[in-house]
Amino acid sequence: MSRYSRHIQLAEIGADGQQKISTAKVLVVGAGGLGCPVLQYLTAAGVGTLGIIDFDVVEESNLQRQVLFGTSSLGMNKAIAAKIRLKDLNPTITINAYSEKLTAENAMTICALYDIIVDGSDTIATRYLINDAAILSGKPVVYGAIYKFEGQVAVFNYKEGPTYRCLFPTPPKTGAVANCAEIGVLGVLPGIIGCMQASEVLKMIVGLPGVLSGKLLCYHSQTGQTTLLSIPKLNHEFNAALIQSGRLLNDYELSCENFITDISTVDALQKRNAIFIDVREYGETPDLNFPNNKQIPLSELEHRLVEFETKAIYIIYCASGIRSLKAIERLQHRFDHRFYNLKEGAIALQEQLKIHHE
């Protein structure tokens, strides 16, 4: 046990604490900027079982901050590449690599195998999925998220404490949040935030006081300022409904991030050869008739999928942009084509068509 002697020497951890660490099971979602330091420190600490889930492969642009990977990892799945490196760091622990995406289908099965879930994901949709899976399986989540030079850390759903939905009750509007791939990030920042997450994991395992439950720690690497905010427990209704249904939602990707691309009427009419699909029901006004426009009511969509076989750019619209989102969610499951959501709806389209023809 000399490997862990510096932990054991701490009165607050001791042999008992180290024993708890060696039997703990922790799932790390995302082996990216946050996941790498979390995995590195939890492996070194001797966490008995670590799960790593990531569907992505290591790219050269990851190496600036994802410190488990080297040039020899390029092109490999991140979960598998991380496991190889971690096995060398500490061969005494069990590491399960899942080279797949965490989805509403697999989340409950995988989460059931672990005591604590670490959120090192990089999309808002996955963050809500992790939150809800944690509520349903009764596991705490150690949340971390970054933006350029700033990071956030919190512990959710710990001993009935607040959840991510208490902080941000509903997913943000499309395109309102960007990820590192789009905007850049200071390489060391996820290292700092990920280490804070690893620290929270160990505090919970050992039973140390001061877990960041119900608190959001905001860190700014340029000013060195940390701000600690309290998160009240909210949204009992949502959690109650979720627990009562006993299952995850099926639309985590819907309207999160840029998964569905909104388009304005002006831009839509400038897309050459785009096919406009009206998913309103028959008889809804205004009645629109123009080239490349076709009505496929949402209620008939399931039976008329064959009409989308042609590879093309599709612009989907309804009255207000809600049914069109549902249609796109269904279509994206089936086809690789580019689907745009005309968020302004049929009336705006009618007006723009008049201008367009003048």
Partner 1 sequence: MKLNIKYFGLLAEITQCSEETLSFSKETVADLLAELFQKYPDLQSKDFQVAHQQEIVAKQTKITHPEIALLPPFSGG
CB nearer partner 1, residue 188 or residue 218: 218
Peptide bond just before 286 cis, omega within 30 deg: yes
Q: Which of 11, 176, 303, 306 binds partner 1 (CB under 8 A)?
A: 176
CB nearer partner 1, residue 38 or residue 327: 38
| 316-335 positions binding partner 1, by CB under 8 A | none
CB nearer partner 1, residue 4 or residue 219: 219
Range list of β-strands (E), the chain: 25-29, 49-53, 94-98, 116-119, 141-147, 150-156, 215-220, 226-230, 261-263, 275-278, 293-295, 313-317, 338-342
Q: How far is the CB of 177 from partner 1 (least distance, A)?
A: 5
150 counts as binding partner 1 under rule CB under 8 A: yes
CB-neighbour burial class of residue 203 (10 A; exposed 0-12, middle 13-18, buried 19+)? middle
CA distance 333 to 81: 29
Q: Which of 177, 196, 198, 316 binds partner 1 (CB under 8 A)?
A: 177
**What is the SS3 assignment for 259?**
coil
Q: How far is the CB of 220 from partner 1 (least distance, A)?
A: 7
| 208-247 positions binding partner 1, by CB under 8 A | 216, 218, 220, 223, 227-232
Binding characters for partner 1, 23-52, by CB under 8 A (x = yes): -------x-xxxx-----------------
CA distance 196 to 212: 10
Q: How far is the CB of 123 from partner 1 (least distance, A)?
A: 6
The pair of structure tokens assigned to 48 is 């008995």
CA distance 282 to 297: 7
Report whether 103 contacts 29 (CB < 8 A).
no
| 244-283 positions binding partner 1, by CB under 8 A | 257
List C-alpha distances in Å: 169 to 108, 283, 303: 21, 36, 35
CB nearer partner 1, residue 220 or residue 326: 220
Binding site for partner 1 (CB under 8 A): 30, 32-35, 119-124, 127, 144-148, 150-152, 166-168, 172-173, 176-180, 183, 185, 190, 216, 218, 220, 223, 227-232, 257
